[in-house]
Amino acid sequence: MNRPFPAASIGQIVASDPARAVAVLRDAILRDADDAGAYRLLGRALRALGRDAEAALAESEAIRASTRDPELIAIARALMANDLPDAEARLRRRLREEPLDVAAIRMMAELAARIGRLHDSETLLRRALELAPGFAAARANLATVLYKQNRFADAVKQLDAVLAAEGADPGSLNLRAAALGRIGDYEEARRLYAELTTTFPNHAKLWMSQGHILKTLGEQDGSVAAYRRALAIEPGLGEAWWSLANLKTLRFSDADVAAMEAALMREGLDDDDRLHLHFALGKAFEDRGEPEPSFRHYAAGNRLRRDQLGHDPQAVSAQVDSMIATLTPGLLAARAGAGDPSPDPVFILGLPRAGSTLIEQILSSHSQVEGTMELPDIPAMALREALETAGKPRDWAAALAAMPPARLAELGAEFIERTRIQRKTAKPFYIDKLPNNWAYLGFIALILPAAKIIDARRHPLDCCFSNFRQHFAKGQAFSYDLDHIGRYYADYVRAMAHYDRVLPGRVHRVIHEHLLDDPEGEVRRMLGYLGLPFEEACLRFHSNTRAVRTASSEQVRRPINRDGVGQWRAYEPWLGPLKTALGDLPETYAAG
């Protein structure tokens, strides 16, 4: 920009005499209408004068002008080609030269998000919005980054601001509906999806999302119809086929199987569609009593997902080793009672597919217990503390050992506050049923010493093979390899045995098979552990109309049955790696 004084001087004038800066910068813009730097500085000067509406226009023009900048165009091309090293080098050079270039800052945030540095991405996007509060695209990106960090309520707030400024953008509405579903506002999510599918009737993934919400609400007929509508639009949409299979109670027709097999043969099918189709076909052949093709499809889908996620079973074992070495009786005694005294939370943990949803449905049928969902807060808090205190993202036990007792109370209070949005009733107790919380049980026990903890445990061959047959929407990277699943189950049992030794009586264990054999006796024992009176409604849990998000949502709307017992036996010829990893656990899992 041909300025009458150096750029540094312009910044000084913006700070000391913004009115003069406005005049100078407008003159510069008259000479060059694509001078993004002049627009950026003009926005700062106008904000300093309190002329926010004009400032927003200037900031918008700065972003527009940036789209014509040859260097930013080159960076955008590098990002589109997924040449991240080139894009990063160019962006760093650009931001050294133009540290206030919000378009470049947003691009750097996109790059950070792509490589999983979500916190860095959030920081960059907040900086872009600090410089240009009206930058709607950056705010929409921030909402996405917050959603990916499981901060769903924060994402909704950002999306509300985007929609207020930009109007009904379908992408933002879709993300808002998904975020509302994650904080339990299912009715509003249902309304939004109904609106979106009406406005965009040929958008297959919107129909699929509507199906997910209807499934959660227990409206299976509507859910099936929505998934079928998605497939009528996009027959190769693997996730929609898997969503039908994941209802667990639906049986595929011959025409469905033929359609899925035809979709697998299409050229250009991406891995996500392919793996979902394999999982759905595994379920289809399982229902037909044909274990060989069923296992073949399950194995193919699992291989694809395993290669995507790259799970390291040794890392889980190392985390358990660290916990056992660190959480000694002495350390636990020294911190006993130091956490927040709230008795409200009830944690149900263990492995996925171990019966935790059934236990939650039973307990949430009690007049004093509210069911919520699988809450992401404990892992997020534990990993944050590990990184900040111990410098290692997995070693939360070392972080606990290093922190002062007062910090434990702060963390317990933080959990209560973070999860408040999930509570929709005045019931005194509420459930967090994230299975993976077993890996952080010591963290829970110290920050919430009055919280109740239930270990949901199922026969390892049934539980582990059920995980192998399940494609999870998110996480559970251990579940896509038979050896990895067996090792994960063994580490879980090893961890729980340690807690039984160092925190005797703190954890109540429910063996799934015992619950099937003696429902009333097991329910009475659970309620006794929670200090609650027995209520008959807990045995009529299948009549509970509450929303259920997990893969077992349709199964827990039926009376207790033994349909899932022994399903691994038909697949025994292929389960060698799993049985080797489990060792004697099929005989000893219920001990203790």
Secondary structure (3-state) at 430? strand
Rounded distance between C-alpha atoms, residue 185 and residue 180, angstroms: 5
pLDDT of residue 390: 58
Contact status, residue 339 vs residue 449, Cβ threshold 8 Å: yes
Contact status, residue 156 vs residue 180, Cβ threshold 8 Å: yes
Q: Which residues of 481-517 are buried (b: 16+ CB within 10 A; e: fewer)?
A: bbebbbbbbbbbbebbebbeebbeebbbbbbbbebbe
- The domain 314-562 is placed in CATH, from the list 3.40.50.300, 3.40.50.1970, 3.10.450.30, 3.40.190.10, at 3.40.50.300
Average pLDDT of span 67-82: 83
Most distant CA pair in the chain, distance? 87
Residue 263 identity: A
When the pLDDT of each residue in the chain is averaged and rounded to a whole number, the result is 89
**Domain ranges, ordered by start, for the chain:** 7-66, 314-562
Q: 7-66, which class in CATH?
A: mainly alpha
pLDDT of residue 391: 64
Average pLDDT of span 475-489: 95
Calculate what percentage of the chain has a pLDDT beyond 70.
Answer: 92
Rounded distance between C-alpha atoms, residue 204 and residue 209, angstroms: 9
pLDDT of residue 387: 84
pLDDT at 427 over 70: yes
pLDDT of residue 2: 41
pLDDT of residue 4: 44
- Counting Cα atoms < 13 Å in the Cβ hemisphere of 440 gives 29
pLDDT tens for each residue of 175-226: 999 999 888 888 899 999 998 999 889 999 999 999 999 998 888 899 999 9
pLDDT of residue 1: 42
pLDDT of residue 365: 93
pLDDT tens for each residue of 136-163: 889 999 999 999 988 899 999 999 998 8
pLDDT at 324 over 60: yes
**CA dist 501 → 398, 432, 441, 586 (Å):** 19, 24, 13, 22
pLDDT tens for each residue of 337-376: 999 999 999 999 999 999 999 999 999 999 999 998 899 8
Enumerate the H helices of 265-312 as residue ranges. 271-287, 291-309
Q: How confident is the model at residue 551 (pLDDT cuts 50, 70, 90)?
A: very low
Long-range contacts of 522-529 (CB under 8 A, 24+ apart): 523/362, 526/359, 526/362, 526/363, 526/454, 527/363, 527/366, 529/452, 529/454
Burial of 154 (0-12, 13-18, 19+ CB in 10 A): middle
Contact status, residue 462 vs residue 564, Cβ threshold 8 Å: yes
Contact status, residue 284 vs residue 252, Cβ threshold 8 Å: yes
pLDDT of residue 5: 44
pLDDT of residue 544: 64
pLDDT of residue 447: 97
Contact status, residue 196 vs residue 181, Cβ threshold 8 Å: no
pLDDT at 550 over 70: no
